[in-house]
Homo-oligomer: A and B are copies of this chain.
Amino acid sequence: MNSLGPGGEFDLIRSFLAAGPPPGAEVVVGSGDDCAVLESGWVVSTDAFLEDVHFRRGWISFDEAGYRAVTAALSDVAAMAARPVGVLVALGLPDPDASRIAEGFRSGIRRACERACCALIGGDLTRSPGPVVVNVVALGRAHRPILRSRARAGDEVWVTGMLGASAAAVRDWKRGREPGPSLRRAFAAPAARLQEARWLAERIRMTALIDLSDGLLGDMSHIAAASGVAIVLDPALIPVAPGAVAVAGSRCDALPLALAGGEDYELAFTARPGSAESVAADFHRRFGASLTRVGLVTGGAGIRLEGDDADEFDPGSPGFNHFRVSRSDATEVGRPDGR
């Protein structure tokens, strides 16, 4: 319950999740991590995807929306370093075109399941009075799931891949421009880092692991809160996607997309100094993606940016917040100011 970072939207989620009796012994980890962890090593998460909030018909096809919804849900399984086993998909469809939309989703769901080697093991189909509504339950299994709560002062903070491309695509669409192929692909055809997470878990001791769905700053604040530590990020170290830099005009202008954009479905983790460094070259050879150190865990609480130009990207500064509109993501709901 204390493992979400600060912020009006997270306060509402926290309050909401405090409903009901505490879980019994069969629930190893309840709410507050990427997945709940059940006895016997099962992990389970649920994610809602709504038309006009998480995607728009003008942006991507229903096939792509189905692929993306399942992949985003499976990213929660990756964030536990668990092996994906199955998904359950509940679909709410507007009456006109229900069959055609279902066919598109079925095709995209199939692609995502095949890519992750997991099965569609249940679902629900219902009429929607308006938007297309998708809910994906992801199930996986892990001998030793990696939580958000074991980061320690002195650990390094690392991320996989490059950040900001998905948010740059959303910004293009919102400005009436069709994003270029690499940005569009980042949004419409992301990959969940499922094999990467297990590969890392077999080689180094990650003390905390999360997937980047809320944006690096938001997700790091979850790790900081869950672990009872502070996290210091150096903006100069953030691996900004080249496509985001090209669209924004400069690395500096693209940095907010990488820091707050979310929906890249890359991984971020903490580990003892030197351990990630020792596998970074192998990781790149194996997966064609970078491992980049972006910061440090310290005593204290919350997230700080330190380094050249860090002040400009202070999450608390007014200049920062407007970049959040580039996210299609969901956590903006319920802010006191109604944004």
Contacts and interface: CB of A to CB of B under 8 A. Distances in A.
A21 B42 CA distance: 20
16 contacts: A12-B102, A15-B106, A16-B123, A21-B114, A21-B118, A22-B119, A23-B121, A24-B119, A27-B121, A44-B44, A44-B139, A45-B88, A53-B126, A126-B333, A130-B131, A133-B133
For the side of the interface on A, what is the size category? 35 or more
B122 A35 contact: yes
Interface in A105-119: 105-107, 109-110, 113-114, 117-119
State the oligomeric state as a number of copies.
2
Interface in A20-68: 20-24, 26-27, 30-31, 35-36, 38-40, 42, 44-48, 50-54
B88 A53 contact: no
Contact of A333 (B107, B125, B137, B139): B125
Given A131-B128, A332-B127, A120 B19 contact: yes
Given A16-B102, A30-B122, A119-B30, A86 B23 contact: yes
Contacts of A19: 106-107, 109-110, 113, 120
A289 B125 CA distance: 31
Nearest to A141: B26
